Structure 1
Amino acid sequence: MNEIKFSDLGLSETLLRSITDLGFEKPSDIQAEAIPVAIAGFDLIGQAQTGTGKTAAFGCGIINNITDKSVLNAVILAPTRELAIQVCEELKRISKHDRLNILPVYGGEPMQHQIRELKRNVNIVVGTPGRVLDHIKRGTLVLDTVKFLVLDEADEMLNMGFIDDLEDIIGRIPKERQTLLFSATMPAQIKRLAARYMKPDAKHIAIKANSLTVSKISQHFFEVNGKTRFEALCRILDFDNPTTSIIFCKTKRGVDEVVSGMQGRGYVVEGMHGDMSQAHRIRTLNKFKEGGLNFLVATDVAARGIDVDGITHVINYDLPQDVESYVHRIGRTGRANKEGIAYTLITPREQSMLKQIRNVTKAEITRKAIPTVEEIFATKSSSMIDEVQQIIEKKDFEKFVAVATELNEKFDSVDIIAALIKSQFKSDMASGYSDNALDSPKGEDVRLFISVGRRDGLTPKGLVSFIQETANVKPTAVGDIDILENFAFVNVTPDIQSKVMDTCIGQRLHNRKVNIEVANKRKR
């Protein structure tokens, strides 16, 4: 049976060029089945688990069928700010050669900035239901020309209480539209929503949930501060001392910065990304295969097709965009029935993506502490003692006896050994460690329940202003906002939680007395 390629799906030349640039080799199951249906213009229910390439599945169909780039063509609704940003970034990459203007809109960002952007001929809006509805009601988002509507992770939006917002938005979009609904599960409420707002000939594509697993790979994560991410990487490398490792970065710039930083600390490393010539990439890869490099820093696109035996570690310096990319990355170690190690560096805000990876792959990804300088010194000292012992046992040191004798006549033997160890450590461990241990990153944002909602006239901007003025905190400490009909949720940094609750509870907001409680963690 012939393997399906993207070129078999009826996509335009510009889309295929973008897909080639991204290094995608073949469509996932949901992409292979959904893209032709979407291009044909059918309404579509796509049932597939997170991390299976759903964004490209609906994105390719929409981008392929856009004919008028002077108007708003599509509205894509996502349950969280993080997902809206992620979808927007992927659509921008997919539409690289179609030159579309794609804008994310979500709570927690100033409304005026989004209003300015919406005036600049946006072709696709990706947003959370609450913020999209706010723009619609303000008249800053006009839906008359919309031909495509996407509900991404519809079950999550319903779980988060967005059903009223969804129905309000859907009712305002022209009925001639094409509706694409994607959901990991199909509860009764989703089926009723589909029956009410989708055409009778809508196609239902269900992809069997598979467990993405990679055997013989020990998977761990390190929680880091953004500003100390690079030092954390160096400490991990110095502690584990991998012989051959691939380090993955999200961007070309990230590759260049990590390579420059590592070379400055004495690591034998080079990088690979799409801006480098093919000849340069081949030379770098050959050097890596032949053992001339200990470390290769690469983007996902540049690393596609790398097949090198003996890679002991794969390190995700940046998290990948989706679960499948994570599996492809770490699969480059642990080959030929050998054991491998996969490390991932994350900030507290990236815990949701890590949870998604765990849920889909069913893998055990355990937390590890970033090594202290004392721990690095201890493990390197132990390795050095073992190495010296082996040399002594083999008596493989005869040509150095004369030098050792000369030194022993001038200095104390312990001083000589200590000086030689120091000299070795200078070349064997990255310098610049000023503190024994790195500062722990701040915890996840705290999600607060606010007893004022849309019916009271509450807007994200109004809520941010209320918290900023009442609690005397910076607006940057206020994160994701979801405003529902009768109440709202807001994320704040842990350091201001008590201050917000102490100062804001009992105050008046839109003529309502405010009550605030710590909410249950939001489902992702």
Structure 2
Amino acid sequence: MLNFPLLCFEGKVEDTSKVQTLLFSATLPVWVKNVYFLPNLKYLTLFFYCMNILIPNCPFLCCIIGLTCILSCQISARFLKPDKKTADLVGNEKMKASTNVRHIVLPCSSAARSQLIPDIIRCYSSGGRTIIFTETKDSASSLAGILPGARALHGDIQQSTREVTLAGFRSGKFLTLVATNVAARGLDIDDVQLIIQCEPPRDVEAYIHRSGRTGRAGKSGVAVMLYDPRKANFSMIERESGVKFEHISAPQPADIAKAAGNEAVEKINEISNRYNFCACFA
């Protein structure tokens, strides 16, 4: 939709019936399909208020995003014909979680997370990259400070520092990233083996985007969601995301030992294959 305002600056269209228009969107919620929506002052005020909460201390950016969305809706209403055709490649308009991901739920109180998460990483990361999602920036910073070799990523971190952090995560300088929803979408990071969500997110879409950071490009992955059995209810996420959660208990010493053994075997094989390759050229 961000391309639609360009029509305003490229010249006046004399006959809109002769114009072919395509509107692309990654997903097709109702508000995208209903492009004839023209916001009034009341809804505009509410929109800018919400944007200012999502992007604090940056009113200019909020205005740019808001005006872009408004122009998109108004120009879409002009150029998309009433008999427009819709091609929904997702189907049934509902976002679905990846079928290449093993979806796990595990009971854990907030006080026990820092002790449990390292064991989960040992058992399910297969020595690969792990992204841990928290609901708050403070939680992300605190948890990253406790976990060995982890780095934090959230909105209060300067952009230059974020870029350095992401570059280190991509290159394998460190394998654990603790983040808020800033890492849930738009990051092109390959080979993320494990996703851990410290608690059920507020909506199903957030769960789908977070768990979708693994199991990409046909590869498999694991998504573990922690929950407090006294207050958490994830039945809506299970129902609307189309997944069947696997219920497990905390990793036991035997599980951790087995995972460590498997990782050691993989590293030995990797070193052996490397030396065998070098021997061929000796």
Equivalence for 1:340? 221
Equivalence for 1:93? 53
Equivalence for 1:363? 243
Q: Is the 8 A contact 2:105 2:227 kept in 1?
A: yes
Residue 111 of structure 2 is aligned to residue 227 of structure 1: yes
Equivalence for 1:255? 140
Matches within 5 A, 1:267-416: 267-352=148-233, 354-381=234-261, 383-384=263-264, 386=265, 390=269
Cα separation, 2, equivalents of 1:240 and 1:323: 23
CA-to-partner distance for each residue in 1:256-280, whole Å, 9 max, x for gaps?
1110110xxxx22211111111111
Q: How many residues align?
A: 224
Unaligned runs of 5+ in 2: 7-24, 60-91, 276-282
Unaligned runs of 5+ in 1: 9-24, 42-58, 67-89, 100-207, 397-524
CA-to-partner distance for each residue in 1:234-277, whole Å, 9 max, x for gaps?
22112234411111111110111110110xxxx22211111111
Residue 124 of structure 2 is aligned to residue 244 of structure 1: no
Partner amino acid, structure 1, of 2:116: A
Q: Is the 8 A contact 1:35 1:60 kept in 2?
A: no
C-alpha RMSD of the superposition:
3.9
Cα separation, 1, equivalents of 2:224 and 2:188: 19
Cα separation, 2, equivalents of 1:321 and 1:306: 21
Q: Is the 8 A contact 2:52 2:58 kept in 1?
A: no
Cα separation, 1, equivalents of 2:206 and 2:213: 12
Cα separation, 1, equivalents of 2:105 and 2:272: 39
Match of 2:98 among 214, 223, 226: 214
Q: Assess, with a 3 A threshold, how the Cα gap between structure 1 residues 5 and 301 changes in structure 2: closer, same or farther.
A: farther
Q: Is the 8 A contact 2:199 2:228 kept in 1?
A: no
Cα separation, 1, equivalents of 2:261 and 2:108: 26
Instruction: Tell me which structure has the larger Cα radius of gyration.
Output: 1
Cα separation, 1, equivalents of 2:27 and 2:267: 53
Q: Is the 8 A contact 2:95 2:205 kept in 1?
A: no
Cα separation, 2, equivalents of 1:6 and 1:224: 47
Cα separation, 2, equivalents of 1:230 and 1:7: 47
Instruction: Indicate the SS of the match to 1:270.
Output: strand
CA-to-partner distance for each residue in 1:126-157, whole Å, 9 max, x for gaps?
xxxxxxxxxxxxxxxxxxxxxxxxxxxxxxxx
Percent identical residues: 24
Partner amino acid, structure 2, of 1:254: S
Return the structure number with greater strand share: 1
Q: Assess, with a 3 A threshold, how the Cα gap between structure 1 residues 60 and 346 changes in structure 2: closer, same or farther.
A: farther
Q: Is the 8 A contact 2:124 2:194 kept in 1?
A: no
Equivalence for 2:30? 30
Equivalence for 1:490? none
Cα separation, 2, equivalents of 1:362 and 1:282: 34
Q: Assess, with a 3 A threshold, how the Cα gap between structure 1 residues 392 and 304 changes in structure 2: closer, same or farther.
A: closer
Instruction: Indicate the SS of the match to 2:226.
Output: strand
Q: Assess, with a 3 A threshold, how the Cα gap between structure 1 residues 391 and 215 changes in structure 2: closer, same or farther.
A: closer
Deviation of the 1:225 alpha carbon: 1.7
Deviation of the 1:305 alpha carbon: 1.9
